[in-house]
Amino acid sequence: MGYAGLMFALDEAHVTNIASDPTRHRQGIARLLMAHIAQQAIVHKSEALTLEVRVSNTAAQELYRHFGFAPAGVRQRYYENTEDALVMWAHDIQDAAYQTRLENVMRGSATS
């Protein structure tokens, strides 16, 4: 159905990948995986989450915005097909406001 990876470095957590079976897209799998990753980052006392996403993958970017991620830069020619990656960060994930956002996303009432 899907998988996700998370790497910890100091007080940051790096989302290394999130993927779901293409035949199961739009069924909430990536949202559940991202919620689990965010919860793990909070448990491990990370202050921020970061990730890279293809500039062409606007659906994923929208999902990440629901989780509080905002664009912070571009990694030129990041992917093997030379596509650029958008670098996104979610800061202050230990704050009550972020945890409320996470709860809202899980209830389906996220705001960007």
Predicted pLDDT at 26: 80
Q: Is the pLDDT of residue 109 over 80?
A: no
Q: Is the pLDDT of residue 70 over 60?
A: yes
- Is residue 48 one of the residues assigned to a domain? yes
- Is residue 44 one of the residues assigned to a domain? yes
Read off φ and ψ for residue 78, nearest 5 degrees.
-70, -40
What CATH number does residue 28 fall under? Answer: 3.40.630.30
Of the listed ranges 36-45, 73-82, 100-109, the least confidently predicted one is 100-109
C-alpha distances in Å from residue 104, one per residue of 43, 71, 86, 108 = 18, 21, 25, 6
Q: Is the pLDDT of residue 110 over 70?
A: no
Pair of tokens at residue 12: 């940051």
The packing angle between helices 96-107 and 29-43, to 10°, is: 160
- Is residue 98 one of the residues assigned to a domain? yes
- Is residue 32 one of the residues assigned to a domain? yes
The number of folded domains in the chain is 1
- Is residue 112 one of the residues assigned to a domain? no
Question: Which whole number is the average pLDDT over 49-77?
Answer: 96
Question: Which whole number is the average pLDDT over 37-51?
Answer: 97
What three-state secondary structure class fits 98? helix
Question: Which whole number is the average pLDDT over 94-105?
Answer: 93
Instruction: Compute the mean pLDDT over every residue in the chain, rounded to the nearest whole number.
Output: 92
Number of other residues whose CB lies within 10 A of the CB of residue 34 = 23
Distance CA 4, CA 105 (A): 18
Contact 80, 64 (CB under 8 A): no
Q: Is the pLDDT of residue 80 over 90?
A: no
Q: Which residues are catalytic?
A: 52, 64
Predicted model pTM: 0.88
The pLDDT-based confidence of 25 (bands split at 50, 70, 90) is: confident
Predicted pLDDT at 107: 84
Instruction: Give the domain extent around 42.
Output: 2-107
